[in-house]
Structure 1
């Protein structure tokens, strides 16, 4: 393929992605800015693993009048979170890396499910810019440490807890934040802390962190969405 043809193809792809983001932006933001406070906000949970946070979110919003867990998105076929989706009769979407990072980032599929808000719960892929543009200030994540420390690429799960223990920290905790173009970098929304004992292990610290996640994440998600609903 000639360089001019390659350039034209790349320009066409970029133009298509920009149009997709612009269209999705209107769809993503409109429901949360309406004066009708009774409109249901449809939430998509992105997860890669067992889905313990997803289950807590589902339980919390099961009978909620204005917030609904409407979709489970997963990048790992066979992950436990997909079993939860099936058990709870919630639609699920398995995503592929090529389309997520070089295609439309599944924005069209999210629109088809009328998704207004995205919650990451143990989702290990970096969120592409196209998706962030489509859902500005509508994507939040939970991280198992006190950001800005112990964040970034590769810092998830046990890797975080081992790093915290090795550094002989006196405390750890959770951070809930908006998602931007960098790993674990967006504006902080909430943090909760726990004490690290002298004989703490990565496993025992993980249990403390999971308890904090399960206690606070559903409540903070609800708080953030309610604040968005109340904006004029």
Structure 2
């Protein structure tokens, strides 16, 4: 029997460009995996159109699920169990993942953040807010981080980081586009490393073999 493809669930809240980058990486043969479902925090997420066009199962929980941490944890556990998920990828997902689910899925949830953590992370630091903060601080470099998810906001150990230069005439929008390009590189790389069982976790130190 052929080996089953590595099963990935992707959680989104917007356009889903990182979700699309992972899917295209699979199509291009970067690794042998499958996005078994997409979960969106809103029915208006642009990434759902791509999921529909590519016949990827997708779900949007009702509002009451998000209002209860336990309900949301149970929902995630049920879906990931039903689809035999091996890795959960947060790709611009703006809801906090319940601690109970993080505990159940420890070491198998990753997130992409548009800055070089631990700088410019934490509650409320997403999207344009991050890039504006980088510019306001006068940073000369920024970048993106793929990290393991723990119970804090953006506090899990980094898996892959990559930097970009910040220019004096950058706006948040221009910087965001430069950072997004490397997000589309490093997130599929991280997923591929998990799929190929190359990730070594030793406390906060993570290596790719």
TM over 0.5: yes
Is residue 37–residue 230 contact of structure 1 (8 Å, CA) maintained in 2? no
Counterpart residue number, 1:32: none
Q: Which has the larger radius of gyration?
A: 1
1:146-169: CA deviation from partner (whole Å, max 9, x where unpaired): 100100011000000000001111
Counterpart residue number, 2:119: 149
Shift in Å, 1:228: 5.8
Shift in Å, 1:106: 2.5
1:188-231: CA deviation from partner (whole Å, max 9, x where unpaired): 11110011111111111011001111122111210123126999
Confirm whether residue 49 of structure 1 aligns to residue 17 of structure 2: no
TM-score, scaled to structure 1: 0.79
Counterpart residue number, 1:77: 43
Counterpart residue number, 1:206: 176
Misfit runs of 4+, over 6 Å: none
Q: How does 1:1-232 map to 2 (within 5 A)?
A: 38-62=3-27, 64=29, 66-100=32-66, 101-103=69-71, 104-227=74-197
Cα separation, 2, equivalents of 1:206 and 1:146 = 13
Report the number of matched residues. 196
Cα separation, 2, equivalents of 1:130 and 1:120 = 16
Cα separation, 1, equivalents of 2:114 and 2:200 = 29
Unaligned runs of 5+ in 2: 202-209
TM-score, scaled to structure 2: 0.87
Cα separation, 2, equivalents of 1:228 and 1:134 = 21
Secondary structure at 1:163 match in 2: helix
Unaligned runs of 5+ in 1: 1-35
Shift in Å, 1:97: 4.9
Shift in Å, 1:143: 0.2
Cα separation, 2, equivalents of 1:180 and 1:228 = 20
